[in-house]
Chains A and B, each alone.
Chain A
Amino acid sequence: MQEYKPKPREVAGELLESYLLEQKLRPGDRLPSERDLSKAWGLSRSTLRSALARMEKNGLLCAKRGSGSYLTPPKYTRHLQGLQSLSQSAAEQGRVVTTRLLSIKRVECDKNLARHFNRTLGYLLYKIVRLRRLDGEPVMLETAYIPTERVGNLEKKNLETGSLFKVLEKEYGLIPKKGEEKIGITYATADEAELMGIREDAPLFWIVSQTYDQWGRLMEYCHTAARPDRLRIASVLERRDPATEERRRRPNAK
């Protein structure tokens, strides 16, 4: 097996990560200066600077001009399990979600939407565009489509208090049961950039989700552009033996 000598850049990145762990630094804490770190580790300043810049780009550090690098609060982690609402899961992570309804209107299904909802062209949907903020900072732009025939007068409901699913459940008896998401990359349009305060063409998560109700019907089709510097997406993969699961579900069965 070959000997591998890591490049200085890789060494610097790992040293920085180790340092954060070993010193148990917390959000808001300041790192020692670039000069002190490069001296302590025997690395060139330019190597260290590019490692710091990379951590900054990935949202781990933020640099304040003339004062150094600070540890940023961890990204909000969106767990794709159990259909927990954004407001609920953010609250568990000590974050506050606020929602602004940008628009709600009736639209006709185009070819793509008609296929997803298994309806013909022109089937009526509500199109709901909402901007979600975490601790005051705009992080997600959500565009949801919901069949109008199942949610009469949706525009009269309060869609800014938080979970749209809560409204659908309370007011219309629609219960989200299962769903799927596709996650990829998109690049901010001028509108998205302005609404979220980022540069145009910056990479964003592009999340397309489909949620099914208790009757197995598609109840919502939604696409979301989300800021990757403030958000990460997590999931737990489990491989289970179906026989054991069955026993677990029905403990009294033989």
Chain B
Amino acid sequence: MRSEGAVGPKSPLYLQLRELLRNKIESGEYPPGTAIPSVGRLAETYGIHRLSVRSAVSALVGEGLLKAVQGKGIFVLGEKLEQDLETVGGFKLNMLDKQKKSDTRVLIKTLRTAGTVYGSLLGYPPEARIYYIKQVSYVDDEPVFLEETYIPEALVPNLKDIDLGVFSVYEACEFYGIQVVRGEQSLEITELDPMDARLLNTDPKRGVLAFRCVSYDDQDRAVEFTRTYTRGDRCTFNVHYQREA
């Protein structure tokens, strides 16, 4: 972190703006994962040239505080947990064709009450509020996964402002200091209902792999429940295991 007072009234405008943006990020006025105002907007608000705004932004991008995404905006990055963790067990999704281009479309992102089913999965009372997110991921313009995620609102209150086309739910959790250390996973084959089958561009009778996972953080709190449907012709799940000592 930089010392205060590095910037004064005589400092160049782009430097003043850079420090202003930095303060807003650090104070939480611009929370991690959300977009800051556009370059045009900032230029207008402060009456400065767009080029000055650009150089303030690009300095912060260079520092890893912001991320510019073509056609979407400028986003605040949270601190990443720099821990070198070893992954043991667990299914890994394996794409059959090496992926060239992937894209995620968010179909639903809403707040709802947990109800009995998701309340009991996540360890919250039925009246607790949870986010429900449904998204489709495409690889080379073909739909490959259909994913539903349930996260308690209390854990990631800003999730509603986070663009899930830019950040994964997993990254959003990390921004809020939630570290997933364990996932209880299962794999089944299920038939999709016709509407969901259409989203995956598959015949409901063919069956899909249904992957479910409840994720826990280092305090053993359930932080997320996900259900991912994948077409069996596009991916397999891999798992490595060892005999316990």
| B61 part of interface (Cβ distance < 8 Å) | no
Please tell me which stretch of A17-25, A26-34, A38-46 contacts chain B, meaning at least 4 of its Cβ atoms lie within 8 angstroms of it.
A17-25
A9 to B195, CA, bound (A): 11
Most buried by B among A50, A175, A187, A203: A203
Binding site for B on A (CB under 8 A): 1-4, 7, 9, 14, 17-18, 21-22, 50, 54, 57-58, 75, 77, 80-83, 175-187, 203-205, 228, 232-242, 245
Given contacts A203-B206, A234-B185, A237-B213, 7 further A-B contacts (CB under 8 A): A2-B110, A58-B190, A81-B244, A82-B242, A82-B244, A181-B241, A241-B85
CB contact under 8 A between A176 and B243, given known A183-B209, A236-B184, A238-B87: yes
| B182 part of interface (Cβ distance < 8 Å) | yes
B224-245 interface with A by 8 A CB criterion: 232-233, 235-244
Q: How far is the CB of B139 from chain A (nearest CB, A)?
A: 16
Q: How many A-B residue pairs have CB under 8 A?
A: 159
Contact status A203-B185, CB under 8 Å: no
A182 to B183, CA, bound (A): 19
B171-187 interface with A by 8 A CB criterion: 180-187
Partner of B187, one of A3, A82, A234: A234
Partner of A80, one of B112, B116, B191, B239: B239
Contact status A184-B236, CB under 8 Å: yes
Contact status B111-A1, CB under 8 Å: yes
Contact status B242-A18, CB under 8 Å: no
A176 to B117, CA, bound (A): 39
Residues of chain A contacted by B90 (CB below 8 angstroms): 235-238
Contact status A1-B189, CB under 8 Å: no
Q: Can you list 5 A-B pairs, Cβ within 8 angstroms, ordered by A?
A: A81-B89, A185-B209, A233-B187, A237-B89, A242-B86
